[in-house]
Each structure stands twice: as structure tokens, then as C-alpha cells.
Amino acid sequence: MSDDLPELIARIEDQERRLVLTRFTETDAWALGCLLVELATTRELPVAVDIRRGEQQLFHAALPGATADNDAWIERKVRVVHRFGASSYLVGRRLAAKGQSLSAELGVDPALFAAHGGAFPVRVTGAGVVAVVTVSGLPQAEDHALVVEALTTFSAGR
């Protein structure tokens, strides 16, 4: 196990504790999605952005350079958040710390689940996880960081 892994896990856990909203409506999903698109467009990042509440897709955008493969990764990352109630990056890093990965032994099909960074639970005070915001197209730490940056900016403006 990497010496940095426990520190990284603690940092991601702190992000998840900190980034809890008081509400999350369809209008909020639009605003957060547009913020992510603005951040990615300004930096010329080839990503897809997705926000969904349960099975309902509230926002989706594919920027120049994004492909259908990014959409498939989004589906797999979102399933991890739904299954484990934590960001896909946190789940992957926790597994890596144990020398494990998602597998049939853990009751999941790796073809359907991806514990790679980029999908983050949208938590609302008193309600828990109500949605998932996802970015796909960059290395996993960068996908995760972009979502965290946008959620931090979004929550500060409320």
C-alpha cells in the first residue's frame, strides 16, 4: 500500500463530509452542470458531464474530445456511488488500500461498475445521497478534482 493512500482516503472522506447541501433541485442540477461545463470549456478539457437523481438524468453534456466511451464510464461510476454510498474515487482508493478491486467476490460485475474517480454523491442535509454528479474523460484523480472544485464553488454560492 502506498504511504500516501491513507492520507488521500482521509482527504476524500473530508470532502464528502464537507460537501453537503441544504437542497438539490432540478434548477440546482442545471446550475452545477453549467458550472462544470464552464470550468471544463475554459480549460479545454475533453470531458462528459452528467448529473442524475436515481434513474433520472438531470444534466448531460459532452464537450469536444469526449466520446461515447466516456458515457459508458459514467454509467459504471454512477453504479458505484449508488451501491456503496460514496464517491467512486473513495471506493476505489479504499479497495486499493486493502489490495482489492471491484470483482465478483465483492458481489459486483466489473463490466458494470468502475471504482475510478469522477462520480461524487450529492448529499442533502437530513436526506442523504439524493443525486450523483460525474465527470469522465481525464485521469481519475483529475475527474474527481474537477467535480469537487465545482461542488465547492456551487455550495459556497448558496
Phi-psi group of 62: left, alpha or beta (phi > 0 → left; psi -120 to 50 → alpha; rest → beta):
beta
Q: What is the pLDDT of residues 42-92, one digit of tens each?
A: 999 999 999 999 999 999 999 999 999 999 999 999 999 999 999 999 999
| Site of grid cell 467476490 | 105
**Gap between the Cα atoms of 107 and 69, Å rounded:** 24
Q: Which amino acid is at 75?
A: E
**pTM (predicted TM-score):** 0.95
pLDDT tier at 2, thresholds 50, 70, 90: low
Set of cell numbers at residue 114 = 468502475
The DSSP secondary-structure symbol of 105 reads G
Q: Strands 20-21, 48-53: parallel, antiparallel or unpaired by DSSP? A: unpaired
CATH code: domain of residue 94? 3.30.450.150
Query: Among residues 121, 102, 126, which one has the least CA distance to residue 53?
Result: 121
Q: Where are the alpha helices (DSSP H) in 19-134?
A: 26-42, 68-84, 88-97
What pLDDT does 156 receive? Answer: 92
Residues 6+ apart with CB under 8 A from 85: 121, 128, 129
Distance from C-alpha of 9 to C-alpha of 13, rounded to nearest angstrom: 6
Domain total of the chain: 1
Q: Are 45 and 137 in contact (CB under 8 A)?
A: yes
pLDDT one-digit tens code per residue, 84-126: 999 999 999 999 999 999 998 889 999 999 999 999 999 999 9
| Burial status of residue 125 (CB atoms within 10 A of its CB: 0-12, 13-18, 19 or more) | exposed
pLDDT of amino acid 158: 75
Domain residues for the domain of 28 are: 5-156
Cα→Cα distances 27→34, 66, 152, Å:
11, 25, 17
